[in-house]
């Protein structure tokens, strides 16, 4: 059967043979036992409803075994035999170019080079899923292959509810993930609903089909590290950045450190993912003992090297060892998946990776105790380093939040705020998001590296032209991004699809996108998909990350994210998504995203101008209303550019009145 025929058949009427569990693949850890006997029966009924009754007797035992062994029903038997990667768009079957582009993006999310746990359909973050099981994948791809531009596919937490009549200007796909009633957003609620097969955690860009591998966060991390060193008035050269995590998003950190020009030490407990990142060139060296690490870092400091070192082990050992050996850490952070602390997002010190996985599944209460003990030790060691002058920032991964819940000494004197700022509070919020700068992405669906190179050149030319007349307030952002895009090719950032990211404001995004659309119309490049990380100006309400620099008391509201996705959907997005959960955890954030297909048409030009302007300025207006000076500047500037924009501005109260 050809690839196109396999896509078009959906769930096969004749079941494929049972597949062997592939031990060479990086698999998700076993999820904890949480369902009652009656609920397990319900989970099996829920899984079997994808199949004709004639298959139920054969599948019920198999699915029951999966549930007992892995804590989930993944339907491994249905995993396709074809290679999973983002094919050139012309290779997909279908009646809609937009639908083919979405298939391209879905397959990229599940590419073995991109996905953290590809056989469990998890892209990154330990539990950031594209689908809950392989039946959902097959059915979704079949629907997309049948879809016309007069239909919309609705996705309920990985489940394709169906194709519904709509119109050509409507989104082709509307995605929701984990949108549960607020009082049922505790971590165990997710565990239960996911085990039942009725909800999933879409992370930020996993469940919205917009993940582009670690590159997606390299740029933001590079800017964060650069500005972190600027904040403490140090040149990155010869100075040390210590962090942890080499998984999906965190895997970008060593590459970002190299681009910024510092020494990076990144700890990771998983040998498979460490090996993968080394093979991909995202880290330079692997070290397996703290003694060896101390020698290597001392040498790198003496020689002022630009080098990234992966420590295969627990980051707590690094913090404690460097304190004992008096190794000066200039910048410190953590990017383990602490939104998911009890199911593989963070591993306790003093226990092997294998022992921890076993304890996680078979003795979850003891595992939780060990994680919290480890967090207390890590925070204690960090406090010793900051007393010596280390600048530590929370990377929005819920490190300080979970450390505080573990009883670690991370609270400020008022016992309300954390003693260390979020990187958004100190760096990304006032320097980028408030001005409208955020992670704009594009994907060349032709799969041709030369198309990506052409788009890099186009984007660079647009930014250089804009920089000539940009106000002084945003010149640093403009120059950082021009430098980034010019070095993109030599830094070999592509993993998976031919994609790129750069930080741009609304004006930059619109002009770059329009230049792409014109190039497509002239036949110079193929179809482009536009998108962004949810970690942006407008799409995400996250009180400990994206909106942590909102100080008017509205940090815990989610109007902005909901307004964002609704506004994008009727202004021309090809698909939209809204998720409960993201980088900081289930129940802790609401975030929305979009994808937009550029095909060189006049209609695409109209859509991109309308939607991208809203997508950014919705967030700037909210940040302006919170009295953020940079956002007030940015929204006033936007109103001058677009006379139809009229935003309510805050009146500032004289503090002396109090």
- Range of weakest confidence among 3-7, 306-310, 456-460, 493-497: 493-497
Is the pLDDT at 216 greater than 80? The verdict is: no
Q: Judge contact between 500 and 545, C-beta under 8 A.
A: no
The pLDDT of residue 289 is: 97
- Interatomic CA distance for residues 495 and 488, integer angstroms: 13
Pairing of strands 122-124, 128-129: antiparallel
Is the pLDDT at 648 greater than 90? The verdict is: yes
- Interatomic CA distance for residues 23 and 168, integer angstroms: 45
CA 127 → CA 345, 366, 520, distances in Å? 9, 21, 37
The pLDDT of residue 544 is: 85
CATH 3.40.50.10730, applies to 214-410: yes
Q: Judge contact between 84 and 111, C-beta under 8 A.
A: yes
Q: Judge contact between 322 and 315, C-beta under 8 A.
A: no
Is the pLDDT at 250 greater than 80? The verdict is: no
The pLDDT of residue 223 is: 86
Is the pLDDT at 249 greater than 70? The verdict is: no
Count of other CB atoms within 10 angstroms of residue 654: 6
Phi, psi values for residue 541, rounded to 5°: -105, 105
Is 585 marked within a binding site? no
Is the pLDDT at 214 greater than 80? The verdict is: no
- Interatomic CA distance for residues 481 and 594, integer angstroms: 22
Which is higher by pLDDT, 90 or 426? 90
Q: Which of 85, 81, 92 is nearest to 110 (CA)?
A: 85
Phi, psi values for residue 553, rounded to 5°: 90, 0
Confidence of residue 338 (pLDDT cuts 50, 70, 90): confident
pLDDT tens-digit readout, 140-182: 999 999 999 999 999 999 999 999 999 999 999 999 999 999 9
Domain layout of the chain by residue ranges: 3-196, 214-410, 433-657
CA neighbours closer than 13 Å in the CB half-sphere of residue 213: 25
CA 207 → CA 14, 128, 213, 302, 627, distances in Å? 29, 7, 14, 45, 33
Is 345 marked within a binding site? no
Q: Judge contact between 612 and 509, C-beta under 8 A.
A: yes
Measured at the alpha carbon of residue 259, what is the angle toward residues 302 and 427, in degrees to the nearest 5? 100
Treating both helix axes as pointing N-terminal to C-terminal, what angle do 506-521 and 602-625 enclose, rounded to 10 degrees? 170
Task: Classify domain 3-196 by CATH number.
Answer: 3.40.1770.10
The pLDDT of residue 441 is: 95
- Range of weakest confidence among 42-56, 330-344, 349-363, 615-629: 330-344
Q: Which of 542, 485, 526 is nearest to 508 (CA)?
A: 485
pLDDT tens-digit readout, 421-441: 888 888 888 889 999 999 999
Which residues, 6 or more positions from 321, have their beta carbon under 8 angstroms from its beta carbon?
290, 293, 294, 327
The pLDDT of residue 516 is: 98
- Interatomic CA distance for residues 138 and 132, integer angstroms: 12
HEC string of 121-147?
Answer: CEEECCCEECCCCHHHHHHHHHHHHHC
- Asked, colleague to colleague, whether 3-196 and 433-657 share their fold, the answer is yes
- Range of weakest confidence among 5-14, 279-288, 519-528: 279-288
Is the pLDDT at 455 greater than 70? The verdict is: yes
The pLDDT of residue 193 is: 97
SS3 state at 312: strand
- Interatomic CA distance for residues 97 and 601, integer angstroms: 12
Is the pLDDT at 196 greater than 80? The verdict is: yes
Is 475 marked within a binding site? no
- Interatomic CA distance for residues 115 and 106, integer angstroms: 11
Which residues, 6 or more positions from 572, have their beta carbon under 8 angstroms from its beta carbon?
169, 596, 606, 607, 608, 610, 611
- Interatomic CA distance for residues 338 and 322, integer angstroms: 23
Burial class of residue 627 (count of CB atoms within 10 Å of its CB; 0-12, 13-18, 19+): middle
- Interatomic CA distance for residues 437 and 434, integer angstroms: 7
Q: Which of 529, 496, 423, 502 is nearest to 214 (CA)?
A: 496
- 55-58: long-range contacts at Cβ-Cβ below 8 A with a sequence spacing of 24 or more? 55/15, 58/15
The DSSP secondary structure of 356-414, one letter per residue, reads HHHHHHH-HHHHHHHHHHHHHHHHHHHHHHHHTT-EE-B-SSSHHHHHHHTT-S-B-TT
Is the pLDDT at 251 greater than 90? The verdict is: no
Which residues, 6 or more positions from 83, have their beta carbon under 8 angstroms from its beta carbon?
none
CATH 3.40.1770.10, applies to 433-657: yes
Count of other CB atoms within 10 angstroms of residue 473: 13
Return the exposure string of 203-227: e unless at least 16 CB atoms fall within 10 Å of the residue's CB, then b. bbbbbbbbbbbbbbbbbbbbbbbbb
The helix (H) or strand (E) run that includes residue 177 is: strand 173-177
The pLDDT of residue 360 is: 92
Is the pLDDT at 649 greater than 70? The verdict is: yes
Query: What's the alpha-carbon Rg for the chain, to the nearest Å?
Result: 24
Is 583 marked within a binding site? yes
Is 268 marked within a binding site? yes
User: Per-residue pLDDT averaged across 339-364, rounded?
Assistant: 91
DSSP assigned state of 428: I
SS3 state at 180: coil
User: Per-residue pLDDT averaged across 267-285, rounded?
Assistant: 92
- CA–chain centroid gap for 378, Å, is 25
How much of the chain exceeds pLDDT 90, in percent? 82
Count of other CB atoms within 10 angstroms of residue 253: 32
Confidence of residue 248 (pLDDT cuts 50, 70, 90): low
Length in residues, the chain? 658
pLDDT tens-digit readout, 76-88: 999 999 999 999 9
The pLDDT of residue 306 is: 96
């Amino acid at each position: 059967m050809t690839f196109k025929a396999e896509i078009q058949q959906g769930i096969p009427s004749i079941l494929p043979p049972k597949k062997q569990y592939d031990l060479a693949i990086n698999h998700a850890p076993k999820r904890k036992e949480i369902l009652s006997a009656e609920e397990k029966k319900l989970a099996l009924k829920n899984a079997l409803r994808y199949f004709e009754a004639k298959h139920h007797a054969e599948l019920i035992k198999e699915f029951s075994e999966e549930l007992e062994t892995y804590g989930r029903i993944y339907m491994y038997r249905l995993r396709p035999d074809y290679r999973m990667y983002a094919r050139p768009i012309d290779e997909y079957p279908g009646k809609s170019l937009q639908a083919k582009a979405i298939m391209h993006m879905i397959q990229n999310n599940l590419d073995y080079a991109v996905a953290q746990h590809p056989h469990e359909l998890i892209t990154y973050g330990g539990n950031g899923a594209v689908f809950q099981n392989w039946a959902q994948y097959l059915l979704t791809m079949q629907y997309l292959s049948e879809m016309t531009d007069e239909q919309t596919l609705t996705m309920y937490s990985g489940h394709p509810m169906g194709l519904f009549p709509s119109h050509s200007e409507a989104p082709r796909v509307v995605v929701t993930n984990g949108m549960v009633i607020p009082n049922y957003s505790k971590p165990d609620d997710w565990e239960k609903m996911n085990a039942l097969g009725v909800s999933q955690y879409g992370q930020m860009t996993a469940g919205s089909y917009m993940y582009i591998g670690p590159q997606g966060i390299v740029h933001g991390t590079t800017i964060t590290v650069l500005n972190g060193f600027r904040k403490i008035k140090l040149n990155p050269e010869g100075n040390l950045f210590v962090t942890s995590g080499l998984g999906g998003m965190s895997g970008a950190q060593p590459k970002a450190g190299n681009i910024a020009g510092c020494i990076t030490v990144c700890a990771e407990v998983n040998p498979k993912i460490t090996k993968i990142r080394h093979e991909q060139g995202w880290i330079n060296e692997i070290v397996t003992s703290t003694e060896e690490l101390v020698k290597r870092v001392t040498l790198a400091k003496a020689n002022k090297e630009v080098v990234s070192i992966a420590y295969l082990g627990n980051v707590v050992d690094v913090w404690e060892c460097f304190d004992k050996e008096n190794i000066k850490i200039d910048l410190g952070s953590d990017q383990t998946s602490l939104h998911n602390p009890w199911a593989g997002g963070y591993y306790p010190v003093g226990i092997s990776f294998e022992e921890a996985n076993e304890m996680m599944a078979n003795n979850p209460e003891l595992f939780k105790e060990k994680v919290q003990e480890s967090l207390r030790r890590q925070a204690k060691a960090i406090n010793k380093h900051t007393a010596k002058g280390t600048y530590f920032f929370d990377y929005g991964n819920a490190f300080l939040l979970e450390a505080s819940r573990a009883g670690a000494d991370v609270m400020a004197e008022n016992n309300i705020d954390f003693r260390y700022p979020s990187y958004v509070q100190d760096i990304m919020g006032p320097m980028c998001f408030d001005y409208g700068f955020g992670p704009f992405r594009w994907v060349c669906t032709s799969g041709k590296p030369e198309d990506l190179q052409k788009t890099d050149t186009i984007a660079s030319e647009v930014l250089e032209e804009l920089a000539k007349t940009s106000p002084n307030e945003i010149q640093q952002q403009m120059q950082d991004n021009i430098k980034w895009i010019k070095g993109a090719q030599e830094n070999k950032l592509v993993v998976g699809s031919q994609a790129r990211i750069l930080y741009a404001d609304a004006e930059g995004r619109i002009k770059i996108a329009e230049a792409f659309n014109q190039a497509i119309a002239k036949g110079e490049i193929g179809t482009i998909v536009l998108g962004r990380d949810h970690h942006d100006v407008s799409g995400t309400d996250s009180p400990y990350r994206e909106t942590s620099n909102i100080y008017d008391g509205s940090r815990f509201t989610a109007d902005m994210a909901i307004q964002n996705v609704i506004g994008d959907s009727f202004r021309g997005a090809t698909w939209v998504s809204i998720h409960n959960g993201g980088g900081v955890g289930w129940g802790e954030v609401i975030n929305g995203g979009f994808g937009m297909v550029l095909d060189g048409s006049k209609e695409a030009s109209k859509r991109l101008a309308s939607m991208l302007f809203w997508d950014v300025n919705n967030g700037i207006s909210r940040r302006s209303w919170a009295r953020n000076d940079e956002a007030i500047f940015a929204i006033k500037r936007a109103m001058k550019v677009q006379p139809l924009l009229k935003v309510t501005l805050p009146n500032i109260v004289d503090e002396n009145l109090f």
